[in-house]
Amino acid sequence: MEIKEVKNTIYLIGVALALNGCNPEKRSLPPPTPAVVSPVATFPEVSEYYPALRNFTLRGEGVIDTDITSTKWFNYSPRDFNASAAQKTLKYYEELARKNMTLTINYFGTNLEFSLVPRAKTKRALFIVPENAPTPEWAGQFKTATKLYFQDPYEDIPELTVIRTSNQGKAEVNSRFRSASALNSLGFFVEACQSTLQAEYEIPQLNQHGQEITCNSFGMANSLKEQQASYNDYTTWAKNATLTSPTGVKLNLYILSESQYSQMPRLTKVLS
């Protein structure tokens, strides 16, 4: 969904449904396949899950493989997609999910312990679309989203993600996302997290908010790290930022520790 920044208020980017984690067998890591311009080609993923894109020009497509997942991607946007940078981002979140981490999230004044676990699905379809592309039915109200099907008869459907690109960044003076590339890459960072790991709490009804706090917090930290923000600059910005859910609930970001931030790799912009 769209990101808005007004006095450091960030509207949640995406949504993901909870899914039990697993540890699939490792395999070798081939490099991502290069982009291929094939504007008239048709693909089963597009026909079945996002048929409206057949009215748009395909600028590139390929496959990103990691130790765990295989992502078929389609770029219908005017932005350049860096598949190698995307692979590094996905690998980062997959490694994060396998660390058996616990996050202490301040939830309305109460510290709650959320466990981060890997998602079970290993097959994905990623659609990168322009601003004027219609929203797929499975994304609901969200313009940028990740959808997971995990019940019969949908268990064989790949994980689906749509990233809606913007032609310009945010104009606010205090915005960290004034360039289109920063804003669009932020969307990918957040959805890479959404599609890779899940935040779980002993009360399942709180998992959705925990998920959104986790992935928006880490995605924004990725973005500020990419911008070479110091830890002090990052914490100053993050402490003054809030997330606003689609229902109007305001949530605080999780603030990474200095160790977490320093150990976080400086990822490259995925969309330029």
Sequence ranges of the domains in the chain: 5-263
pLDDT of residue 180: 84
User: Strand, helix or coil at 41?
Assistant: coil
Residue type, 242: T
pLDDT tens for each residue of the chain, 272 residues long:
333 333 333 334 443 333 223 333 333 445 555 544 444 457 999 999 999 998 899 999 999 999 999 999 999 999 999 999 999 999 999 999 999 899 999 999 899 999 999 998 899 999 999 999 999 988 887 888 888 776 555 678 899 999 999 887 665 545 677 788 888 899 999 999 999 999 999 998 899 899 999 999 999 999 999 999 999 999 999 988 888 876 678 888 999 999 999 999 999 999 98
The beta-strand segments (E) located in the chain are 5-6, 9-11, 60-65, 70-75, 102-107, 110-118, 123-129, 145-147, 159-164, 197-200, 242-244, 250-252
Residue type, 190: V
pTM for this entry: 0.81
pLDDT of residue 197: 93
Greatest CA span in the chain, whole angstroms?
53
Hunting for tokens 């313009």 — which residue is that? Answer: 143
Query: Where does residue 272 rank: exposed (0-12), middle (13-18), buried (19+ CB within 10 A)?
Result: middle
For residue 238, the tally of other CB atoms under 10 A from its CB is 21
Q: Are 31 and 171 in contact (CB under 8 A)?
A: no
**3-state DSSP helix/strand/coil % of the chain, to nearest 5:** 30, 20, 45
Query: Which structure tokens are listed for 99?
Result: 């660390």
Taking alpha carbons only, the member of 66, 99, 26 closest to residue 192 is 66
Hunting for tokens 């709180």 — which residue is that? Answer: 206
pLDDT of residue 145: 83
pLDDT of residue 2: 37
pLDDT of residue 88: 96
Q: Are 139 and 145 in contact (CB under 8 A)?
A: yes
